[in-house]
């Protein structure tokens, strides 16, 4: 089969590789119908994630059809059309029993982190994929869900909803601020609607992204390049700050911004993947009765979000700005790597 | 001043009565700008609520302007435009500290139930009203909120949201069924949107009410006069039943219906005011891991719902089907008493 | 092997039967070290549970050692000492993912109820048992846990804790009343300590059971045969009633008692298995903001309770009043069937 | 009357000052029966809290009898024996309605922080105290509560319970670590019992404090001066870390320690008052699904804790190591300022 293979820092190839085979009784093999590229894949390609070995097939999002099942699989069958959760989970360990699939103790018997596709094992940017612990890690989907909708459910919609909205404890009537209007930030904006906020404020440096944020459900926008950006945010509240400030960038500055606009008793939800420590002004914040959350997606809401996409309650397809065939994988990378120039959010490769 | 006075079973009068005066340091006097009529007022007029004494001014919903404040009032001022919560609460007793204002232990030093307007003390269908424990029982509102929106916030929107949606623990992705598409049922349908359900099924015997339910946000409707009504409901789920079944009528039959359509692990939320005991099939239900809730509104979400109405997130004004002046109070009662014939939901008297 | 076999209403036999074999890749076989008898077994023997076929091996509690594993089992091994949860669960269906194992949709591909041992499949009163979906349905235990402690964790401790204490939403400072001081009621009394109640009132008709309740943690007791039993209970509160009233008997009268002693805003938790419908006085209760829960145990707290037993925080062994060998199975039934006469709570068969 | 007056950095005096008088209709005057000294008072005396003006009477804990009430006070009477909450709250603002008394918007019309005694207004180390918003800020107590028990309920028990245990989301079966075994840390250790933890590990540099921690309920102790202190803590868990790590010191090092011993999916609860920012290793922690909480006590559990102290469920009196008369106020400060030398926890001044 063909797959996108990591060849070391800065190098990748769309090349012929051996087909995957069933390795454990709980595995299935999926023929991919569609996949996509995530910002994390770009990080890996830069060489920022040294755990990824040369030769690894990248990608952790996708949709396809089961072509083979392991001997221990009883609830899935060849021919099932499924979404692959970006997180693999055994469903039986103490973490999985809590729904904390992101910290599954046995995704392949080793790592203690549920994200392994395109990282510790071969991923989804390929014609076929071996899926471990498949019964807990794939979701059967009806024909009415398109490939475009499906790939959003692998990672980005659950990430925005679980780590931004749920961890941020958004509740009806809240004023919510989302810092960073990229794909994950927009996922947060879109899924915030599931808890009835009064206002959703998108904050970014790029006006074209802010304009697009309105289309995803933001009621207000603030350009954080403005000297008075904080005052603009507070003016959209009762003056005390937002109920929930969501960080969707991953740098110290934006994390600090979140702590500066949240009201006493409010929540800061960090979604961003950080490369450096941040300074937390506990000397000022200890008295503010804040809650700060962070985490890797569990995809334990994937099934629920699927129902909402199916019922046209979440317009997931809005995220897909470009489409490619599998053979155009490298072009897809080219566009996604220069997302700003192409106004790209998510690319559908099918 | 003029007021609507209960003169004994079946009798009422719009007549001249003495103006109210401040009785306690925590009171305020409000000049009413608008009021409305509730089904409970009709019950009282029938003589079904013997605690109501002859001579009592009826009504527990309304909006107006403060004209006088007691000596202990420091956070309200003459001239403030306010919504009157239908429930009076001292804000200091053990129940109020939990937000359970409906069971305030000291609404007027006696009763132990927070609903006293138009019941144990004079109510809001009058030109002026004395409001006890005003600082905890009225809400200041901006000019952008209309009188029509305001009266919905006194009782009906909080009732549908708190006792139907919150007590029913509606969560994103749920299938919710609301039995009874009258004003309270429609309030439940409308406010269910604040928790992102996948489907909202309105159930009623009257097709015209079901048609209207769509306009309030129902995704599906079922006429419970159909022999296969239950099968129709189950067919809108995965076959196991709805996540939340909400009773908004108040008779044994509809309560039983709710228990027959709810899935294992689901919730039954009773909003209806019942006049008779019901039979609960614990022999069948004990094993179903259900939760059954019930209660009088607390209005502890009034301030939050106000923000959503202000931000045009809840189209409260849809409930107002007829308008009258204060002098047309008896005509307003005539229309509301024959709501079916007039297709009336709520009447605005201002 | 030898097993206790149901031979039709009123008849049972401790007899030679074929050894169980692995039937599905997710099965294991366990050699039982200890089992016990539950009130449900007595109901089945009376013929009250017609789904139970003649020839069925009874019992749903037990502890033992794995002697064989199915081909799909990767997290358990031959030789593991395990507790068998009374509820079997696949761990992958939508109910299992919520921790609602009691409604597993696939305990053996058919029933939609997680309790199948000694009911729909052969049970634990035997020398060997086939355990379906073993990875989700057994718990590995350290040597420091005795057999006596272990059998309590199969059913009775989780039942009291999950269905009484957790569903009843007991919280620190609460006054909790437990109606019925049999094994399940005492389990509720004991596990209530995990949420720091101010008072735990045991209510029963039998003074010797009430005396024993003190030993399990009750702070107060009331004999419900007293004409003023309700006044006695209210006198142990601030006069408004208990925060949580737990029904652990299973008859209409005791359910009604629970609704009569609970305060406004409180919780009624039904644990009892009911054979008849009950009358629910919604005409009086609708306004009391109550919550009524019920259900079959999920055993999703078994692992947590195990840690507390291991740390000597829950003196589980107190429940074991009599011990028998496997060959004395019929004597064990004799004693347990006449529990009152023998002051028996749980019998350990090992 | 006599009072302890702040005379500028490093200076204090026990001197004659004017008696307090009712200033607002919601005030009461309390004749103090007992008070105590808090670490915060020592900070103020060092000059670390510049908002405190010279001439301020210090102290925010105490118990006494009401001698005078304002005209708006209806639920308290002269002669009532009361505990003074360390936080003053109006009970009516949006924060108070959520129980977030620590951020009351109107404690005296100005500050937006509920802690004002001995900080923005005169405090409790005096013979008489003016208590603003008394109906929401004092708690009536029975004679069975001693003065020693009462002063613990003003601040320290609610602080440990609310900010450590509740914000830390301790639940039955958890392993809890408390860093810092001073008075607040020990309050956390003691009140952790209300949520049934499996283990409570006290961590401190001082062995004598660790020994005492056992007496307050710690199951295990670790001296953080040991090079392998972290390994010792992890060895008391399943190797993954504690469920809840509570910081009760207030320096960057101890906050970092908390983040180093908490397991994925766990909680870090900061109680300490910090004078400097801390470094938060988001680069490592973003993926760990942690929750970090912090805050000033609300005292919204004071009434609940009072019931537990009354029922001898919390041995509050253990905290009192030394007793003084009011005239020995300066000696009391001397002992408390050198707590280590005197093995002092809390001093009772009465």
Q: Is the pLDDT of residue C106 over 90?
A: no
Would the pLDDT of A328 be above 80? yes
At C171-219, the pLDDT tens digits run 999 999 999 999 999 999 999 999 999 999 999 999 999 999 999 999 9
Return the residue in D99, D160, D173, D175 with the most chain C beta carbons within 10 A, the one to mutate for interface testing. D173
Above 60 in pLDDT, residue A50? yes
Same domain, C309 and C276: no
Tell me: do C25 and C145 sit in the same domain.
yes
> Looking at the structure, do residues B289 and B317 belong to the same domain, yes or no?
no
CATH code of the domain containing D217 = 3.40.50.720
Q: Which residues of A touch B243 (CB under 8 A)?
A: none
Least-confidence region, from B130-144, B181-195, B305-319, C100-114: C100-114
Mean pLDDT of A85-108: 92
Q: What is the pLDDT of residues A251-264, one digit of tens each?
A: 999 999 999 999 99
Contact A288 D294 (CB under 8 A): yes
**A108: pLDDT confidence band, cut at 50, 70 and 90?**
confident
Q: Nearest-CA distance from D141 to chain B in Å?
A: 14
Residues A227-242, mean pLDDT to the nearest whole number: 97
Residue where a domain stops, chosen among A261, A277, A294: A294
What does the pLDDT read at residue C108? 72
What does each C-alpha distance from A26 to A40, A75, C92 come to in angstroms? 27, 11, 12
| Long-range interactions of A213-222: CB distance < 8 A, separation 24+ | A213/A178, A213/A181, A213/A185, A213/A186, A213/A189, A215/A318, A216/A186, A216/A189, A216/A190, A216/A318, A217/A189, A217/A190, A217/A192, A217/A193, A218/A178, A218/A181, A218/A189, A219/B311
- Do B40 and B74 fall into the same domain? yes
The beta-carbon neighbor of C92 closest among A25, A71, A91 is: A91
Residues of A in contact with B310 (CB under 8 A): 198
Q: Is D340 in the B-facing interface, judged by CB distances under 8 Å?
A: no
Question: Do residue B295 and residue C279 have CB atoms under 8 angstroms apart?
Answer: no
Q: Is C142 an interface residue toward D (CB < 8 Å)?
A: no
Residue A274 reports pLDDT greater than 70: yes
The answer to whether the CB atoms of B172 and A196 lie below 8 A apart is no
Could you tell me how many CB contacts below 8 A there are between chain A and chain B? Answer: 48
**Which chain D residue's Cα is nearest to A274?**
D283
How many structural domains are present in chain B?
2
Under 8 Å between Cβ of A316 and A152: yes
C-alpha dist (Å) from residue A101 to A152, A168, C103, C118, D241: 18, 19, 21, 33, 17
pLDDT recorded at residue C195: 98
pTM over 0.90: yes
| Banded model confidence at residue A224, pLDDT cuts 50, 70, 90 | very high
Q: What percent of chain C has pLDDT over 70?
A: 99
Q: Identify whether residues A150 and A288 lie together within a single domain.
A: no
Q: Is D169 on the interface with C (CB under 8 A)?
A: no
Q: What is the mean pLDDT of chain B?
A: 95
- Please indicate if any CB of chain C lies within 8 Å of the CB of B144: no
C-alpha atoms less than 13 angstroms from C-alpha of D201 in its C-beta half-sphere: 27
Contact between A283 and D295 using a beta-carbon 8 Å cutoff: no
Q: What is residue D113's predicted lDDT score, i.e. its pLDDT?
A: 79
pLDDT at A107: 73
Same domain, A306 and A256: no
Q: Which of C34, C13, C14 is nearest to C81 (CA)?
A: C34
D59 and D98 in a single domain? The answer is yes
Which one of C162, C263, C280 makes the best mutation probe of the B interface by having the most chain B beta carbons within 10 Å?
A: C280
B240 near A CB under 8 A: no
Residues of D whose CB is below 8 A from C219? 311
Distance, in Å, from the CA atom of C189 to the CA atom of C197, rounded to the nearest integer, reads: 10
Q: Does A94 touch chain C (CB under 8 A)?
A: yes
Q: Is the pLDDT of residue A121 over 70?
A: yes
Does the pLDDT at position B210 exceed 90? yes
pLDDT digits (tens, 9 = 90+) for B337-347: 999 899 999 99
β-strands B175-179, B199-204 pairing: parallel
Identify whether residues B290 and B305 lie together within a single domain: no
> Residue D80: its chain B contacts at CB < 8 A?
none
Domain co-membership, D248 together with D317: no
Chains with 3 or more CB pairs under 8 A to chain A:
B, C, D
pLDDT(A336) > 60: yes
User: Is C70 within 8 Å of A72 when comparing Cβ atoms?
Assistant: yes
CA A18 to chain B, closest CA, distance in angstroms equals: 40
What is the reported pLDDT for D109? 60
**CB-based contacts of B50, cutoff 8 Å, min separation 6:** none
Q: How confident is the model at residue B48 (pLDDT cuts 50, 70, 90)?
A: confident
Same domain (yes/no): A247, A303 = no
What are the chain B neighbours of C270 within 8 Å (beta carbons)?
282, 286
Interchain pair C72, A97: CB under 8 A:
no
Chain C residues within an 8 Å CB radius of D192: none
Residues from chain C contacting residue A303 (CB–CB below 8 Å): 94, 97
Pair of tokens at residue A201: 């404020």
Q: Which helix or strand (DSSP H or E) is residue A309 part of?
A: helix A302-310
Q: Does B168 contact chain D (CB < 8 Å)?
A: no
Q: Check CB contact of D272 with chain A, cutoff 8 Å.
A: yes
Q: Answer yes or no: is pLDDT of C112 > 70.
A: no
- Pick A100's closest partner by Cβ from D289, D296, D298: D289
Which chain C residues have a beta carbon less than 8 Å from that of A107? none
Query: Subunits with at least 3 CB pairs below 8 A relative to chain B?
Result: A, C, D
Question: Quick check: C311 and D198 CB within 8 A?
Answer: yes
Interface touch A173/B198, C-beta < 8 Å: no
Reported confidence tier of residue A112, pLDDT bands at 50, 70, 90 = low
B239 touches chain A (CB under 8 A): no
| Residues spanned by the domain of D266 | 157-294
CA distance A90 to chain C (A): 9
The nearest alpha carbon in chain C to B162 belongs to: C289
Can you point out the beta strands (E) in chain A?
Answer: 2-6, 12-16, 28-35, 62-69, 81-84, 128-131, 138-140, 175-179, 199-204, 220-223, 242-247, 262-270, 278-280, 291-294, 320-324, 346-349
> Is there a single domain that holds both residue D206 and residue D344?
no
Q: Which of B196, B305, B307 sits opposite A313 (nearest CB)?
A: B196
Whole-number Å distance between alpha carbons of D261 and A230: 35
Residue B140 in contact with partner chain D when CB distance is under 8 A: no
Q: In B, which residues are within 8 Å of A199 by CB distance? A: 311
Interface test with C, best of B282, B285, B296, B299 (most C CBs within 10 A): B282
Q: Which of D274, D281, D291 sits opposite A286 (nearest CB)?
A: D274
- Does position B271 have pLDDT exceeding 60, yes or no? yes
Which CATH number fits the domain that encloses residue C109?
3.90.180.10
Report pLDDT for A319. 96
DSSP E strands, chain B: 2-6, 12-16, 28-35, 62-69, 81-84, 128-131, 138-140, 175-179, 199-204, 220-223, 242-247, 262-270, 278-280, 291-294, 320-324, 346-349
Question: Minimal Cα–Cα distance from C175 to chain D, Å?
Answer: 10
> Is residue A164 scored above 70 in pLDDT?
yes
- Give the ipTM of the model, two decimals please: 0.96
Residue contact D75–B92, C-beta within 8 A: yes
* Predicted local confidence at residue C111, as pLDDT: 58
pLDDT at B112 over 70: no
Dihedral (CA of D337, D342, D347, D350) sign: negative
- For D73-107, what is each residue's pLDDT tens digit? 989 999 999 999 999 999 989 999 999 999 999 87
Examine the domain organization and report whether D185 and D118 are in the same domain: no
Q: Is A272 on the interface with D (CB under 8 A)?
A: yes
Q: What is the pLDDT of residues D281-315, one digit of tens each?
A: 999 999 999 999 999 999 999 999 999 999 999 99
Do the Cβ atoms of A34 and A147 come closer than 8 Å?
yes
Contact C196 D307 (CB under 8 A): no
Q: pLDDT, tens digit, for every residue of A53-78?
A: 999 999 999 999 999 999 999 899 99
Q: Which SS3 state, helix, strand or coil, does residue C74 take?
A: coil
Nearest to D75 among B71, B73, B106 (CB): B106
State whether residue A91 sits within 8 Å of chain D by CB: no
Q: pLDDT digits over D180-211, tens only? A: 999 999 999 999 999 999 999 999 999 999 99
State which residue of chain C sits closest to B100, comparing Cα positions. Answer: C265
């Amino acid at each position: 089969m063909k797959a996108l293979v990591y060849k070391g820092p800065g190098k990748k190839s769309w090349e012929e590789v051996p087909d995957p085979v069933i390795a454990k009784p709980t595995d299935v093999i999926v023929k991919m119908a569609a996949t996509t590229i995530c910002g994390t894949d770009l990080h890996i390609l830069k060489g920022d994630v040294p755990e990824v070995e040369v030769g690894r097939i990248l990608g952790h999002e996708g949709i396809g059809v089961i072509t083979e099942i392991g001997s221990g699989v009883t609830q899935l069958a060849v021919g099932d059309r499924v979404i692959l959760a970006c997180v693999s989970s055994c469903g039986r360990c103490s973490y999985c029993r809590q729904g904390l699939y992101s910290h599954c103790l046995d995704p392949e018997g080793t790592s203690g982190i549920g994200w392994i596709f395109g990282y510790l094992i071969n991923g989804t940017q390929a014609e076929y994929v071996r899926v471990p612990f498949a019964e807990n890690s794939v979701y059967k989907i009806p024909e009415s869900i398109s490939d475009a909708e499906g790939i959003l459910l692998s990672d980005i919609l659950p990430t925005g909803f679980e780590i931004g909205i749920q961890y941020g404890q958004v509740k009806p009537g809240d004023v919510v601020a989302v810092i960073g209007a990229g794909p994950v930030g927009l996922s947060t904006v879109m899924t915030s609607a599931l808890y009835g906020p009064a206002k959703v404020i998108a904050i970014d440096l790029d006006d074209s992204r802010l304009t697009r944020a309105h289309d995803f459900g933001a009621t207000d926008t603030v350009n954080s390049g403005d000297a008075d950006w904080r005052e603009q945010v507070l003016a959209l509240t009762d003056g005390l700050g937002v109920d929930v400030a969501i960080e969707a960038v991953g740098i110290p500055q934006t994390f600090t911004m979140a702590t500066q606009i949240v009201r006493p008793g409010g929540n800061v939800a960090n979604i961003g993947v950080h490369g450096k420590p941040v300074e937390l002004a506990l000397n000022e914040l200890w008295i503010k009765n804040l809650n700060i959350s962070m985490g890797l997606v569990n995809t334990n809401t994937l099934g629920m979000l699927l129902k909402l996409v199916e019922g046209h309650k979440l317009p997931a397809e809005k995220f897909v700005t470009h489409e490619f065939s599998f053979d155009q994988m490298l072009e897809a990378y080219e566009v996604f790597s220069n997302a700003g120039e192409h106004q790209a959010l998510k690319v559908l490769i099918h």
